[in-house]
């Protein structure tokens, strides 16, 4: 007889307790209110807020998105209302729910990261910070913090030193060896890692001979990047001892299970939210269903169970 009890789904991601491993990916779920008509936010493992910077940012000129094969490119340009407006206008709404809120932060200088981290450390209702190190570093000629292990180390160490909140560092896949940055960031004090951010790409309109995006290049997301994300998560889980959150093209429970099996402690749903506003719930229910069907009483009995002959 199958075990019909509700399986144990709670996980600990670097000191952040989650009721289940299904999180929303930053920038794909707004500030929560956009999706609350479609799903019960209380059921999410965690809600990751759209990337916050020191001050408000306008974002890039349109066109900002273009569909590509099994995915999309975006160059939104980190448009956001800024950390102060978030705390005043959006956080009270999210705190009305019983959901773990993680704030994604970024800056163009290390000082900006520190300033945003400090502000969020002072308010109740934030369970942790996710540091986006894919942002261009203006002091290093626009090279992303995450492209250079030294800067990735420095931004992680300095943010860690100004906050008691657990720190998740979100890694960029646009590097030769992601395990190198992963190890360095772990050394700098990161409590967990999330990967991958979008893959840099472009698309051209052959009629006009112009790029489809005003920004020329953009970040590729969606099922097209899932095999790359899965491979990187597998590599990184073997290279570090801190928890890894799998992100990249997860559209359904099957995709999410693959990430858990290769070793991800939790997963994030991003672009799938655009296709199906209920994607997070469908994934959560699908994982539960799989666990019941396979007599897996606790999610930890599933995580990292990849068998290699």
Partner 1 sequence: MTSNIKESRKSIITARIVDHHEVVKNHFLMTLKVPIDFQTAVPGQFVMIRVKGREDPFLHRPFSINLLTSHGTETFMGILYKVIGKGTTIFSRLKKDEELYVMGPLGNGFDMPPNRKKIAIVAGGIGVAPLSFLAEYLNRQASFSEEGIEEIVCYLGAPTSQLLLDRKRLEHACSKLMISTDDGSEGYHGTVAKLFQNHIDSYAENDSIIFCCGPYPMMTGVAEIMKKYSIPCQVSIEERMACGIGACLGCAVRVKSHGSRPHYMTVCKDGPVFDINDVSWRQV
Active site residues: 135
Distance of CA 32 to the CA centre of its chain: 15
Q: Name residue, tokens 């068998």.
A: 307
The smaller minimum CB distance to partner 1, of residues 160 and 226, is found at: 226
> How are strands ordered across the β-sheet holding 65-68?
65-68, 71-74, 217-221, 199-202
Distance of CA 153 to the CA centre of its chain: 19
The smaller minimum CB distance to partner 1, of residues 15 and 125, is found at: 125
Provide φ and ψ at 80, rounded to 5°.
-160, 165
Minimum distance from CB of 54 to partner 1 (Å)?
Answer: 14
Let me know if 109 is exposed, middle or buried by CB neighbors in 10 A (0-12, 13-18, 19+).
middle
Minimum distance from CB of 245 to partner 1 (Å)?
Answer: 20
Minimum distance from CB of 163 to partner 1 (Å)?
Answer: 25
The smaller minimum CB distance to partner 1, of residues 95 and 288, is found at: 95
Minimum distance from CB of 175 to partner 1 (Å)?
Answer: 25
First and final C-alpha spacing in the chain: 30
In the chain, helix, strand, coil percent, each to 5? 35, 25, 45
The smaller minimum CB distance to partner 1, of residues 224 and 262, is found at: 224
Minimum distance from CB of 49 to partner 1 (Å)?
Answer: 12
β-strands 192-195, 244-247: how paired?
Answer: parallel
- Contacts (Cβ under 8 Å, ≥6 apart) of 88: none
The smaller minimum CB distance to partner 1, of residues 21 and 223, is found at: 223
Contact positions vs partner 1 (CB under 8 A): 27-30, 34-42, 56, 58-72, 74, 76, 79, 95-98, 222-223, 271, 273-278
């Amino acid at each position: 007889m199958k075990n019909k009890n509700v399986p144990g789904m709670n996980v600990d991601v670097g000191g952040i307790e989650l009721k289940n491993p299904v999180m929303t990916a930053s920038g794909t779920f707004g500030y929560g209110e956009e999706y609350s008509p479609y799903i019960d936010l209380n059921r999410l493992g965690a809600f990751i807020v759209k990337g916050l910077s020191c001050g408000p940012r306008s974002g890039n000129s349109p066109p900002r998105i273009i569909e590509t094969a099994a995915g999309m490119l975006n160059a939104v340009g980190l448009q956001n209302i800024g950390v102060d407006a978030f705390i005043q206008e959006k956080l009270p709404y999210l705190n009305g729910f019983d959901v773990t809120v993680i704030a994604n932060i970024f800056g163009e200088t290390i000082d900006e990261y520190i300033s945003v981290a400090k502000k969020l450390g002072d308010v109740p209702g934030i369970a942790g910070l996710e540091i986006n190190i894919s942002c261009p570093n203006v002091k290093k000629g626009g090279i992303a913090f995450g492209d250079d292990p030294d800067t990735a180390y420095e931004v992680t160490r300095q943010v860690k030193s100004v906050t008691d909140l657990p720190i998740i560092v979100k890694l960029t896949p646009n590097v030769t060896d992601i395990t190198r940055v992963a190890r360095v960031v772990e050394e700098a004090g990161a409590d967990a890692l999330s990967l991958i951010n979008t893959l840099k790409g472009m698309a051209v309109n052959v009629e006009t001979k112009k790029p489809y995006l005003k920004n020329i290049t953009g970040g590729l997301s969606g099922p097209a990047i899932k095999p790359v994300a899965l491979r990187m998560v597998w590599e990184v889980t073997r290279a570090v001892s801190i928890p890894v959150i799998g992100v990249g093209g997860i559209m359904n429970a099957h995709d999410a299970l693959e990430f858990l099996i290769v070793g991800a402690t939790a997963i994030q749903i991003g672009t799938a939210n655009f296709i199906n506003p209920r994607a997070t719930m469908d994934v959560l229910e699908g994982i539960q269903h799989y666990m019941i069907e396979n007599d897996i009483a606790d999610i930890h009995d599933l995580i990292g169970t990849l068998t290699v002959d």
